[in-house]
Amino acid sequence: MDKKTPATQTTDQPSLFDKAGEILSGFGHKITDAKDSAVGFVKDEAVVVKKATKKIARIIKKVVKKAPAKKVVKKVATRKKAVKKAVKNIVGKAPAKKVAKKAVKKAAPKKKKK
């Protein structure tokens, strides 16, 4: 049997690994582009938020300066006298009847026989 020599690839046809490498590098480029655009968007929005918070802080400072100072009034707690509550008897219920306990007689101990 004659051994067949593997067909050498020409430089015109890329190998399977070359194609896979190109595809994966394409994915990598797309991911970095998306990341860059997301980071740029977040930076822009952060600048907008900072400006808005500064504006709100200025408005609050103006309102605080214009508001008259309020006097702090201490509230004195009034002492309340303890109210004694009368014990109420519930009308309509009869007091519980006492039942006599039955006397239990103990049996006399048996005498020992000699």
Tens digits of residue pLDDT in 64-114? 887 666 666 677 666 666 666 665 555 555 666 666 666 666 666 677 666
Spatial separation of the C-alpha atoms in residues 84 and 5, rounded to whole Å: 115
How many domains does the chain fold into? 1
Which residues make Cβ contacts (< 8 Å) with residue 22, sequence separation at least 6? 14
Per-residue pLDDT at 14: 79
Q: Which domain holds residue 51?
A: 14-74
pLDDT above 90 for 26: yes
**What does pTM read for this prediction?**
0.38
Percent of the chain at pLDDT > 70 equals 50
Which residues make Cβ contacts (< 8 Å) with residue 9, sequence separation at least 6? 15
Q: Would 88 be classed as within a structural domain?
A: no
Q: Would 44 be classed as within a structural domain?
A: yes
Q: Would 70 be classed as within a structural domain?
A: yes
